[in-house]
Amino acid sequence: MVGLVASTLHRTIMAGTSLLLGTTGEILTERSGILNLGVEGMMNLGAVAGFIVTVRTGNVLWGIFAALLAGGTAAVFHGILTVYAKANQTVSGLALSMLGVGLAGVLGKPYIGHQLPVRLEQVELPLLSRIPFLGELIFHQDPLFYTGVVLAFGTWFFLRYTRSGIRIRSVGENPKASESQGVPVQRIRFLCTVGGGAFAGLAGAHVALSYSTSWTEGIVAGRGWIVVGLTIFSLWNPLRGMLGAFLFGGIFVTQYILQPIGVPPNLLAMLPYVATLLVLLMDGLRKDQRSLHAPAALGEPYSR
Amino acid sequence: MQLGTVQVSVQWEVRKKQTPLLSVLTLIGALGIGFLWVGFVFVFLGVDPVFALQKIFIGSFGSLYGWKESLTKGIPLFLISSGLCVAYQAKFWNIGAESQLLMGAVCSTWFGLQFGASLSPILGIPLMFFVGFLGGALWGVIPAILKVRFGMNEVISTLMMNYVAAEFVSYLIVGPWKGSTKYGYPYTDDLPKHLLLGTIPGTRIHYVTLVLGIVISMALFILLYRTKFGYEVRVVGESPEAAKYAGIDFFRTSLWIMIISGGVAGMAGVGEVAGIHHHLSYPGNISAGYGFTAIITAWLGKLNPLGSLLSGLFFAGILVGGDAIQISLRLPAATVHIFNGILLFVLLIGNFFLNYRPVVQIRRR
For residue A94, the chain B residues in CB contact (below 8 A) are: 95, 155, 295, 344
What residues of A are in contact with residue B334 (Cβ under 8 Å)? Answer: 101-106, 109, 217
A99, B351: Cβ pair inside 8 Å?
A: no
DSSP state of B333: T
Q: How many residues does chain B have?
A: 365
Other C-beta atoms closer than 10 Å to the C-beta of A162 total 11
Instruction: Reply yes or no on whether the pLDDT at B305 is more than 80.
Output: yes
Whether residue A222 and residue B159 make contact (CB cut-off 8 A), yes or no, is: yes
Residue with the larger pLDDT of the pair B93 and B351: B93
Q: Which 3 state secondary structure label does DSSP give A141?
A: strand
Residues B147, B153 contacting (CB under 8 angstroms): yes
Measured between beta carbons, which residues in chain A are less than 8 angstroms from residue B41?
103
DSSP A90-137: HHHHHHHHHHHHHHHHHHHGGGBTPBPSS----EEPTTGGGSTTHHHH
To the nearest whole Å, the CA of B194 is away from the closest chain A CA by 32
Name which residue leads in pLDDT, B132 or B42. Answer: B132
What's A2-293's CATH class?
mainly alpha
b/e map B240-260, b = 16+ CB within 10 Å: eeebeeeebeeeebbbbbbbb
* Inside any domain, residue B33: no
Nearest to A92 among B155, B338, B348 (CB): B348
Are B345 and A81 within 8 A, CB to CB?
Answer: yes
Contact list in A for residue B151 (CB cut-off 8 A) is 284, 287, 290
> Could A266 and B170 be called an inter-chain contact, meaning their C-beta atoms sit closer than 8 Å?
yes
DSSP character for B118? G
A81:B348 CB<8 A: yes
Nearest to B352 among A85, A283, A287 (CB): A85
pLDDT tens, residue by residue, B237-263: 988 888 889 889 999 999 999 999 999
Give CA torsion, residues B52, B58, B60, B63, to 10 deg.
-160
Residue B201 belongs to domain spanning = 75-312
Instruction: Please give the single-letter amino acid code of residue B12.
Output: W
pLDDT digits (tens, 9 = 90+) for B201-239: 999 999 999 999 999 999 999 999 999 999 999 999 988
Which strands sit side by side in the sheet containing B356-364, from one edge to the other?
B2-3, B6-14, B356-364
Distance from CA of A273 to the nearest CA of B (A): 5
Is residue B55, in this structure, part of any structural domain at all?
Answer: no
For an interface test with B, give the residue of A52, A83, A98, A219 to mutate (most B CBs within 10 A): A98
A303 Cα distance to chain centroid: 29
pLDDT for residue A292: 52
Q: How many CB atoms lie within 10 A of CB A298?
A: 17
- Provide the 3-class DSSP secondary structure of residue B360: strand
Closest residue to B164, CB basis, from A41, A273, A285: A273
Give the count of beta carbons closer than 10 Å to the beta carbon of residue B330: 9
Contact criterion met (CB below 8 Å) for A117 and A55: yes
To probe the interface with B, which of A106, A216, A279, A282 has the most B CB atoms within 10 Å? A106
Taking an 8 Å cut-off on Cβ atoms, the answer to whether A105 and B295 are in contact is no
Q: Which residues pair with A141 in a beta bridge?
A: A123
Chain B residues with CB under 8 Å of A290 CB are 151
- Indicate whether B27 pLDDT > 90: no
Residue B300 resides in a domain: yes
DSSP B214-241: HHHHHHHHHHHHHSHHHHHHHHHHH-HH
* Mean local confidence (pLDDT), B108-118: 95
Residue B363 has phi, psi (to 5 degrees) of -120, 140
CA dist B79 to A56, B166, B208, B210, B270, Å? 45, 20, 12, 9, 11
Contact B339 A102 (CB under 8 A): yes
Chain A residues with CB-CB distance to B299 below 8 A:
91
Q: Please list the residues that pair with B359 across neighbouring strands.
A: B11
Q: Measured at the alpha carbon of residue B143, what is the angle toward residues A297 and B103, in degrees to the nearest 5?
A: 145
pLDDT of residue B365: 64
pLDDT (0 to 100) of residue A288: 58
A83: nearest CA in chain B?
B352
Is B288 a member of any domain? Answer: yes
The DSSP-derived string for A172-217 is HH-HHHHHHTT--HHHHHHHHHHHHHHHHHHHHHHIIIII-SBB-T
Q: Do B75 and B206 contact (CB within 8 A), yes or no? A: yes
CB within 8 Å: A229 and B161: no
Contact B308, B302 (CB under 8 A): no
Indicate left, alpha or beta for B4 from its phi (over 0: left) and psi (-120 to 50: alpha).
left
> Chain A interface, mutation test: which of B15, B92, B99, B150, most A Cβ atoms within 10 Å?
B150
Burial of B43 (0-12, 13-18, 19+ CB in 10 A): exposed
Residue of A nearest to B348 (CA): A87
- Judged against a pLDDT cut of 90, whether residue B133 lies above it is answered with yes
Q: Is B86 helix (H, G, I), strand (E, B) or coil?
A: helix
B289: left (phi over 0), alpha (psi -120 to 50) or beta: left
CA distances B288 to A84, A292, B164, B284, Å, are 35, 41, 16, 5
Classify the C-alpha dihedral A104-A108-A112-A118 as positive or negative. Answer: negative
Rg (CA), chain A: 19
The answer to whether position B106 is within a domain reads yes
Residue B341 and residue A270: Cβ atoms within 8 Å?
A: no
Residue A78 host element (H or E): helix A60-79
**Residue in A80, A22, A13, A12 with CA at minimum distance from that of residue A47:** A22
Instruction: Report if residue B98 sits inside a domain.
Output: yes
Residue in B closest to A95 by C-alpha? B341
- Is B102:B135 a contact under the CB 8 Å cutoff? no
CB nearest to B332's CB, from A98, A109, A266: A109
Chain B residues lying within 8 Å of A88, measured CB to CB: 348, 351
**φ and ψ at A81, to 5 degrees?**
-65, -45
- How many Cα atoms are found within 13 Å in the side-chain-facing hemisphere of B61? 9
B342 contacts on A by Cβ (under 8 Å): 95, 99
Residues 6+ apart with CB under 8 A from A60: A54, A118, A119, A120, A121, A209
CA B12 from centre of chain: 33
What is the rounded CA–CA span in Å between residue A58 and residue B193?
A: 57
Distance CA B86, CA B258 (A): 9
Q: What is the pLDDT of residues B152-206, one digit of tens each?
A: 889 889 989 999 999 999 999 998 999 888 787 889 999 999 999 999 999 999 9
**Would you call B163 and A90 a contact, using CB atoms and an 8 Å cutoff?**
no
C-alpha pair distances (Å), A115 with each of A16, A49, A60: 22, 15, 13
Do A284 and B149 count as a contact with CB atoms less than 8 A apart? yes
CA neighbor of B273 nearest in space, from B70, B69, B68, B75: B75
| A246/chain B closest Cα distance in angstroms | 19
Residues with Cβ within 8 Å of residue B197, at least 6 apart in sequence? B125, B206, B207, B208, B209, B271, B274, B275
Nearest to B334 among A88, A102, A232 (CB): A102
The low-confidence residues of chain A, meaning pLDDT below 50, are none
Q: How many CB pairs under 8 A join A and B?
A: 141
Whether A274 and B171 lie within 8 Å, measured CB to CB: no
CB within 8 Å: B174 and A228: no
| A77 contact residues in B (CB cutoff 8 A) | 345
For residue B344, give the chain A residue with the closest CA: A95
The four Cα atoms B261, B266, B268, B270 give a dihedral, to 10 degrees, of -160
Contact B155 A273 (CB under 8 A): no
Number of compact structural domains in chain B = 1
Three-class SS state of B281:
coil
Nearest CA in chain B to A268: B167
Q: Given A37, A103, A290, which is nearest B338 (Cβ)?
A: A103
Check if the beta carbon of residue B198 is closer than 8 Å to that of residue B62: no
* Least CB–CB distance from B348: residue in A88, A103, A290: A88
Residue of A nearest to B164 (CA): A270
| Predicted pLDDT of residue A153 | 97
Tell me which amino acid residue B137 is.
A
| Backbone torsions φ then ψ of B4, nearest 5 degrees | 65, -120
**What pLDDT sits at residue B54?**
86
Mutate to test the interface with B, among A92, A94, A112, A230 (most CBs of B within 10 A): A94
Helices (H), B46-198: 49-60, 64-89, 97-115, 121-150, 154-174
- Please say whether the beta carbons of B258 and B143 come within 8 A: yes
Output the pLDDT for position B1.
Answer: 62
